[in-house]
Structure 1
Amino acid sequence: MRFSLRAGAALVAFAATAFAQTFTLEAEDGTLTGTTALTEIAGFSGTGYVGGWDEDGDSVALSFTSDETKLYDVKIRYSGPYGSKYTRISYNGVTGGDISLPETTEWATVNAGQALLNAGANTIKLDNNWGWYLIDAVILTPSVPRGPHQVTDALVNPNSNSVTKQLMKFLVSKYHKAYLSGQQDPPSYAWVEQNVGKSPAVLGLDLIEYSPSRVEFGSTSTAVEDAIAFDKRGGIVTFCWHWNAPSGLINTEGHEWWRGFYTEHVTFDVSAALANTTNSDYKLLIRDIDAIAVQLKRLQDAGVPVLWRPLHEAEGGWFWWGAKGPEPAKKLYKIVYDRLTNYHKLNNLIWMWNSVAKDWYPGDDVVDILSYDSYPATPGDHGPVSAQYNALVELGKDKKLIAASEVGTIPDPELMKVYQSYWSFFVTWNGEFIDSGKHNSLEFLKSLYNNSFVLNLDAIKGWKNGAGTSTTTTVSTTTPVPTTTPVPTTTSPTTTTTPKPSTTTTTPAPTGTGVAQKWSQCGGISFSGPTTCVAGTVCTVLNPYYHQCL
């Protein structure tokens, strides 16, 4: 939901009731726009169900009266005979997020998170997103405090080295007790330091430019050096890999080689490549994994543990590794895991999976942390992203750490407490997502980074020296809830109709000018790039490891 808690909003505790009444809102009884009440498929509740979700603007609006301001668990009863889809839910005009509807020919129920509804009349609306599904009902149950989780710090790689084990222990020890701040890419990280006055605890980096099909075009990167430098500052490093396809780069106007991680810009077929181990594309996949292993080995040799997130956002299909559905994506993930863990003996990786749907999950034996990349449809939506959080808790059987591995708009920590959606850490994406004011205002950022629940770099230094020793973590049985519904911020809605994929702003190849652009790195320990800044900016020393053109 798009919420912004007013400063000093009163919070009170709510207690579990002896029993919770369930309210079923039949879709066919709502206000239908572009959709149709149907009865052809048996098994529905009520007098029918709603179909016809085939155009933008198709919707169903349902009315519900609550006896008081109250938090409700929300579920959607649906059928998905046309494949896995998404629907978008909103409450009283405020978005509640995009809800995954896995493929099923039966009537099924999916968790849609939670909603804080007003005392009196409320409107719950479902809007068409990916379309072509059937909606039977929305089910509301008053929320009760979440019971204890048993999140373990045991890593899936039994040979994980000591510093990597210590990082996982530290993260688990802070789970539900704190919210670690994070920022993607050094230039945007430096922007936060300069403008917010705080240093995020986590630095997000990308191995994109180490992809062999980019190196062939002259790409270079200092991401490994940046990670080593940040580790020396006492921070935590996370890496994704926008894997440029090993072959099949279209490389024409509008489909340039440096767009080669997107499905639409390549002809590479991951399913065909994985059909057998003798074809040339399979061998190129292994070549690429081995090339990335070289960089991860440099980090291992430097004593840097990595929150490692390969094949991210596979479920969306916009990246080639997810374009052929869940089975090839899961198979490739397991190959990456096996190759890096057992062949290359990399023991400094904490393995993160980044899709919510159950049919995309590669399994508990190869995943340490479950994560979600949140780009709300409405910029400035600081809601807790509870639907995805709850889905991940269920996916990991309450035993996996849950993280907001990428965010466009940062979930508000106070709302996280209300909704019991305790993301371990967040990493804000770079560029406009952090510095434009559109997705995160400077006022919000300063409030966030000074919130006592948020841990920044200065608060986590020393984690390698033994901080965090618990092997499980529990959540309090008392959760705060506002006495009034939080007031939504006013922002302009986006025209995006699907979850926004992450992109990279890393320069794809050297320009040859030897001039660093505004906000770019221009010096620091281990830095080997250009040290001359573009006209109108000065290379400023922010710390011994990072100088920036400002």
Structure 2
Amino acid sequence: MVLLLSSIAALWAAGAIASPLQARADPKTYEAEDAVLSGTVVEKTVAGFTGTGYVGGFDTGTDRITFTISSDAAQLYDLSIRVAAVYGEKRTTVILNGGSSSEVYFAASQTWNSVSGGQLLLNKGSNKVEIVNNWGWYLIDSITLTPSGSRPAANINTALVNPAADADAKALYAYLRSIYGKKILSGQQELSYANWIGQQTGKIPAVVSVDLIEYSPSRVAYGSVGKSVEEAIEHHKRGGIISFLWHWNAPTGLYDTEENRWWSGFYTRATDFDIAATLSAGPSNANYTLMLRDIDAIAVQLKRLQAAGVPILWRPLHEAEGGWFWWGAKGAEPAKKLWNLLYDRLTNHHKLNNLIWVWNSIAPEWYPGDSTVDILSADIYQQGNGPMSVQYNQLVELGRDKKMIAAAEVGAAPLPGLLQAYQTNWLWFAVWGDTFINNQEWNSIETLKNIYTSDYVLTLDEIQGWRG
């Protein structure tokens, strides 16, 4: 870990970590060819590099370059990476001092570009910054560190996008606005694992995220029975907050082969359902009718929650830009069109007014627009319990600081001290269930106890009365 949680909290409280307002140093650039290379090589073929060359050869999992950087104080810096992604869009992993890591996206480019690598909280003295192969085959010219500036106050929208939002949704949104930037809500995927956290730490997460997957008609046809609505109501009755996603099994066209069984029908690889063609064909098309059937089936479950007074952090079409789910397989425009159809069908046709609409992709070209989105979010799977500053800063820019931002799905719960030091004001985090929350490599019990007993992290017992 960059610093132990207790060390960071103590340094932050004592002012030993230089605040952004105290930053005075100029930007400093470090040439990649001067770093320690492991499995990588210095090259000079692509013109426009600085220094005496650049570094390529990121073609195996352990390939990396390691910079040694000295800092006069424990201080937060903005990281910029000068890169040429000449082989297509890529991703790299940035690791600080062998601990917390960040994944950085490189758009395809035949020229050199400076890409934000998020922020790094350097220790006083010597630090190690590693750029490690992830989605390989890219070229690194240099990195630049600039003392971080102060984060301006957010100007969060005061009202929900649905003008007919009910009192429950309004109360939840008002509560979320009241804590944003001051605290973070703890969260967990699946009620059973939320209760497991209570057994391990003595504290139950404030937010429980559940999935409407089993209510998809193409799964019901195979005998699936959903239970997440009952689980949501159970957590709501004890004063908790509910988030819902929907792994939407494709309406039709499931392969159901040995490699791609029917229950994996939300994956692009497991269905021939074409969202672009379906939307273009319009309501007279049979597949379009089946798509509406699915939305209407989910509306039935959401209405049960509305009748029970449960407001929902509603996160459909998640991870669309990844393309691994069928709703994102045909690109940004069909995904945005489907989002708008879903919003209209649930809000205007079904009169579901208990939904707070949570968008779940980062790329600007995928964003459906402010008029149908209440909260921005990202799903982030990186080890080290870090602050996820890369994605946070991208979402701040996407929403122009008018939308609250959530880490809706994570592999590793973030350490509170790092969140505060990096000024990453996530509204909530929710750790995925099996193989992540119960995996020591992702979330040790000691780390979970530190997180769940932090004053910065709100748990179920601390949010009672959020309705006001």
Same-fold call, TM cutoff 0.5: yes
Residues 56-109 of structure 1 deviation map (CA, whole Å, 9 limit, x = unaligned):
333333333323332211122334454432111122333421112234455433
1:429 aligned onto 2:435:
no
Write the distance in 1 (CA, Å) between the matches of 2:298 and 2:210: 13
Aligned twin of 1:366? 372
How many Å separate the matches in 2 of 1:382 and 1:399?
Answer: 27
User: Is the contact made by 1:89 and 1:97 (CA closer than 8 Å) also made in structure 2?
Assistant: yes
Q: Which residue of 2 aligns with 1:402?
A: 405
- Is 1:62 aligned to 2:67, yes or no? yes
Equivalent pairs counted in the alignment come to 462
With structure 1 as the length reference, what TM-score do the two structures score? 0.78
* Structure 1 residue 261 displacement after superposition: 1.5
Does the Cα contact within 8 Å between 1:4 and 1:412 map onto a contact in 2? Answer: no
Aligned-partner Cα distance in 2 for 1:29–1:269: 49
Q: Which runs of 4+ in 1 moved over 6 A?
A: none
After the TM superposition, which of the residue ranges 364-373 and 168-177 deviates more from structure 2?
364-373
* CA distance in structure 2 between the aligned counterparts of 1:370 and 1:155, rounded to whole angstroms: 13
Partner of 2:388: 385
Q: 1:137 aligns with which of 108, 128, 142?
A: 142
Query: Could you say which residue in structure 2 is the equivalent of 1:461?
Result: 464
Matches of 2:453 and 2:324 in 1, distance apart? 36
**Residue 264 of structure 1 aligns with which residue?**
269
- Matched to 1:453, the amino acid is Y
Match of 1:337 among 343, 346, 364: 343
Opposite residue 227 of structure 1, the aligned amino acid is: A
Change (3 A) 1:51 1:169: same
* 2:306 is the alignment partner of 1:300: yes
SS in structure 2 opposite 1:274?
Answer: helix
Distance 1:436 1:37 in 2: 38
SS, match of residue 157 in structure 1: coil
Structure 1 partner of 2:451:
448
Aligned twin of 2:315: 309
8 Å Cα contact 1:4-1:382 kept in structure 2:
no
In structure 1, what is the equivalent of residue 286 of structure 2?
Answer: 280
Decide which of 236, 239, 255 is 2:260's aligned counterpart: 255
The answer for the alignment partner of 1:236 in structure 2 is 241
CA distance change for structure 1 residues 287 and 84 in 2, over 3 Å: closer, same or farther?
farther
Query: Does 1:169 find its partner at 2:174?
Result: yes
- Please give the per-residue CA displacement for 1:358-380, whole angstroms capped at 9, x wherever unaligned: 2332222222111122222x4xx
SS in 2 for 1:145: coil
Give the counterpart letter for 1:309 in structure 2.
Answer: R
- 1:149 equivalent in structure 2: 154
1:211 alignment counterpart: 216
Distance 1:383 1:325, change over 3 A: same
Q: Which residue of 2 aligns with 1:504?
A: none
Deviates more, 1:359-368 or 1:55-64: 55-64
Higher helix share: 2
Partner Cα separation in structure 2 for residue 403 and residue 426 of structure 1: 6
Q: Which amino acid aligns with 2:445?
A: L
Percent identical across equivalent pairs? 53
Q: Which residue of 1 aligns with 2:419?
A: 416
Shift of 1:257: 0.8
Shift of 1:166: 1.6
RMSD: 2.4
TM-score, normalisation: structure 2: 0.91
Partner letter of residue 456 of structure 1? T
Segment drifting more, 213-222 vs 9-18: 9-18
Instruction: Name the structure 2 match of 1:5.
Output: 5
1:121 alignment partner in structure 2? 126
Deviation at 1:154, TM superposition (A): 2.0
Q: Tell me the distance in 2 between the aligned counterparts of 1:423 and 1:117.
A: 21
Seen in structure 2, the aligned counterparts of structure 1 residues 195 and 68 have a Cα distance that, compared at 3 Å, is: closer
Name the aligned partner's letter for residue 402 of structure 2: K
Q: In 1, Cα distance between the equivalents of 2:440 and 2:385?
A: 13
Do the aligned partners of 2:358 and 2:373 also contact (CA within 8 Å) in 1? yes
| Aligned-partner Cα distance in 1 for 2:87–2:55 | 15
Does the Cα contact within 8 Å between 1:152 and 1:399 map onto a contact in 2? yes
Structure 2 gaps of 5+ residues are none
- Segments of structure 1 that go 5 or more residues without pairing to the other structure are 466-550
| 8 Å Cα contact 2:2-2:98 kept in structure 1 | no
Contact 1:191-1:435 within 8 A present in 2 as well? no
